[in-house]
Structure 1
Amino acid sequence: MAGVLKPGIKHIIFDLGDVIIPIDLRAPIRNFAVLSGLNETEVESLWREHGLILQYETGLIDDAGFRQHIRTLLKNESWADEVIDTAWNTVLLSLPIERVERIRELKGQYRLFLLSNTSAIHIEKVRNILVELGQPPLEELFERVYYSYEVKMAKPSPEIYEHVLATSGLKAEETLFLDDNPRNIHSAAQLGIHAVQVQPPLTILDYLRDESTNEDIPHSS
């Protein structure tokens, strides 16, 4: 099976977490458990019971509302915003600069987009990470960025992919989508998008190699 940069592909849509920047989804739960004195199972159960993350990532509550929900659910009204933001952002790990450089190389060859289930607090942290690396912000790396909290939709809902295609004038059959979540991949593929699951230990550097290489890489569509 050949690489994913096949003839006919004109647009690439990137996920953010575990595609561009490595993440640890359990890290915020661990940190809030330590801060609150609860165990991780209790923290995770409270978040799921109240649908906190989905509400925040789809813009139903804003930054201040999210922080207050955290304080209320974990029973500590004294936590400063910075304490909550720091614990929340532990999901974000070190960003390999080579991935950013590869995206910049592709920018002149393809129309590039970002589609992420995320929150404003995370995006601000990513901006700071990029500044520290001497790299441009996400809004300059990509022709257009789609954040779930701004469009008030989230993957794997088909509506969010339809929104991206429609608002950026993309044809599904000319579009490559890279994501780490199999549910997101399946949903996008149902619309005719060339959807590829990025699976560790491989990274976008493996999937988005120069087409002149002939090595096989996994491909899902």
Structure 2
Amino acid sequence: MKNSNIKNIIFDLGDVILNIDVPVASLSFAKLSGREQAEILTLFKENDLFRQFETGLLDEASFRNLIRKLVDSPDWTDEMIDTAWNSLLLDMPVERVELLKTLRSKYRLFLLSNTSSIHITQVNKILEAATGIKNLDELFDKVYLSYEMGIMKPDPEIYLQVLKEQNIKAEETLFLDDNSDNIKSAAKLGIDTILVQKPVTILEYLKDYAV
């Protein structure tokens, strides 16, 4: 049901706007290395690889070098690593982009994503191939990315930073994410929330807002 108080909408990226399949990345690295997927996941988790890269503690070169070290594959090229890392990124449905264009005429729109620079470069390529739009910045009033902010959802501070910087009120803001922890954290701050769950998409969740 539409909340008539809403003036601002914050979107997550993965599985909200862009379709993704997270396990595909570890599977890609497993195939490249000849190791089991479970072993790859354990190596990445034990070394906090995702969080370090997605909060900017690792730059692209350091990220690639750490992967080479963890899987003992010093001969892997940057392109091999990037391709495996990006394999979890699927498609950008055009109808979701069209919805964003419609909503932007009525609301202030923001993107808030836990992501890395390598992923964002590829996402923009996917976006351009699907729609002709070259950059996510063209769809939102402001794009907030964890690796640039140095913080990740569900840390409450990441939402507070967006609210403060944009001078917007929590009770006038709607946040959509596919992760329940991220939703709970935002809701505790008074932000209205929608947990996006497949197979339902933002087209259904936001149909009343697009009218």
Calculate the TM-score normalised by the size of structure 1.
Answer: 0.93
Residues 67-146 of structure 1: pairs in structure 2 closer than 5 A: 67-133=64-130, 134-146=132-144
Q: Which runs of 4+ in 1 moved over 6 A?
A: none
For residues 140 and 56 of structure 1, do their structure 2 counterparts lie closer, same or farther at Cα, with a shift above 3 Å needed?
same
Counterpart AA for 2:78: D
Local SS of the residue matching 1:173: helix
Counterpart AA for 2:61: A
In the TM superposition, what is the alpha-carbon distance from 1:135 to its structure 2 partner?
2.4
Residues 1-221 of structure 1: pairs in structure 2 closer than 5 A: 2=1, 5-133=2-130, 134-210=132-208
In the TM superposition, what is the alpha-carbon distance from 1:132 to its structure 2 partner?
1.1
For 1:212 and 1:158, the matched residues in 2 are separated by 28
Q: Give the superposed CA RMSD.
A: 1.2
In the TM superposition, what is the alpha-carbon distance from 1:211 to its structure 2 partner?
5.1
For residues 211 and 147 of structure 1, do their structure 2 counterparts lie closer, same or farther at Cα, with a shift above 3 Å needed?
closer
Where does residue 216 of structure 1 map in the other structure?
Answer: none
For 2:11 and 2:158, the matched residues in 1 are separated by 14
Q: Which consecutive unaligned segments of at least 5 residues does structure 2 have?
A: none
Q: Deviations over 1:4-59 (max 9, x none)?
A: x4201000000000000011010010000010111011000000100011000000
In the TM superposition, what is the alpha-carbon distance from 1:108 to its structure 2 partner?
1.1
**C-alpha contact (below 8 Å) 2:99/2:210 kept by paired residues:** no
Q: Deviations over 1:42-83 (max 9, x none)?
A: 000000100011000000010111000110001101111010
Number of residue pairs aligned between Structure 1 and Structure 2:
210
Q: Deviations over 1:148-204 (max 9, x none)?
A: 000000000001011111111110000000000000000000000001100111000
For 2:74 and 2:209, the matched residues in 1 are separated by 55
For 2:134 and 2:64, the matched residues in 1 are separated by 28
Where does residue 218 of structure 1 map in the other structure?
Answer: none
Local SS of the residue matching 1:210: helix
For 1:136 and 1:11, the matched residues in 2 are separated by 24
Higher helix share: 2
For 2:182 and 2:209, the matched residues in 1 are separated by 25
For residues 149 and 41 of structure 1, do their structure 2 counterparts lie closer, same or farther at Cα, with a shift above 3 Å needed?
same
For 1:119 and 1:179, the matched residues in 2 are separated by 17
Counterpart AA for 1:182: S
Counterpart AA for 2:148: E
Q: Percent identity?
A: 54
Counterpart AA for 2:51: L
Q: Which consecutive unaligned segments of at least 5 residues does structure 1 have?
A: 214-221
